Amino acid sequence: MKKILLIIYLVQISMLSYSQKININFIISIDNNVNPTISNLIIKAIKNNTDTIVFNLDYSPGNLIMKKKDYQELLNKETEIISFELTYSEICKENIEFYNYKIESFEKKWLKGYYFILYIYNTNKRKYKKIFNPIPTKEFTYEYDSPNGSLRRVTKRKRKKCLK
């Protein structure tokens, strides 16, 4: 009887540790919308220069959520991040438009800081086309802020204090 209880206890502990999630303080702003409708959020990585791994993420404004096991594997020095990808949807009049963003220069340190704010601008939209040049072969650009530093893109013209 004691063995059965011990086995049940160990199985429960292993299931709890497997299903634990980690919340990363991560804000995604798309076209100055801090509450975007995001889906298909993934990080693609390579482990030991051979195996491609896809990490599925959940997002709610301010929180990037992933399994603790995946987070530890992603931050392992044998794992190299290939890209951070997401799909953004917005309603324009009576249509729903979908935009796919793939950031190929994603860094592990973005997941480790106290916070990270990612700003994505769709350069197909007239408002942002006048200000930003897109990333080569892409239809968007991005900037970010974190305790480790910031990235600001060179602009075509002077920015207003607040992009509206």
Task: Report pLDDT for 6.
Answer: 56
Structural domain count, the chain: 1
pLDDT score recorded for residue 155: 82
Name the token pair of 38. Answer: 């995001």
pLDDT of residue 116: 95
In a domain, 103, yes or no: yes
Residue 1 in any domain: the answer is no
Q: Which domain holds residue 123?
A: 19-151
In a domain, 2, yes or no: no
The predicted pLDDT at position 67 comes to 92
Q: Residue 33 domain-assigned?
A: yes
- Tens digits of pLDDT across the chain (164 residues): 666 655 665 555 555 555 589 999 999 999 998 888 899 999 999 988 888 999 999 998 899 999 999 999 999 888 998 899 999 998 888 898 999 999 998 999 999 889 999 999 999 999 999 899 999 999 999 999 999 889 888 887 666 655 54
pTM for this entry:
0.81
Per-residue pLDDT at 9: 59
Question: Angle CA(150)–CA(155)–CA(161) in degrees, nearest 5?
Answer: 70
* pLDDT at residue number 158: 65
Q: Is residue 156 part of a domain?
A: no
The whole-number pLDDT of residue 84 equals: 95
Burial of 46 (0-12, 13-18, 19+ CB in 10 A): middle
In this prediction, residue 17 carries a pLDDT of 52
**Domain annotation covers residue 3:** no
Cβ–Cβ under 8 Å, residues 29 and 118: yes
One DSSP character per residue, 18-75 reads HH-EEEEEEEEEETTBSS-EEEEEEEEEEETTTEEEEEE-EEETEEEEEEHHHHHHHH
* Residue 157 within any structural domain of the chain: no
CA 16/CA 19 separation, integer angstroms: 5
How far apart are the C-alpha atoms of 114 and 24, rounded to whole Å? 8
In this predicted structure, what is the pLDDT of residue 121? 95
pLDDT (0 to 100) of residue 4: 66
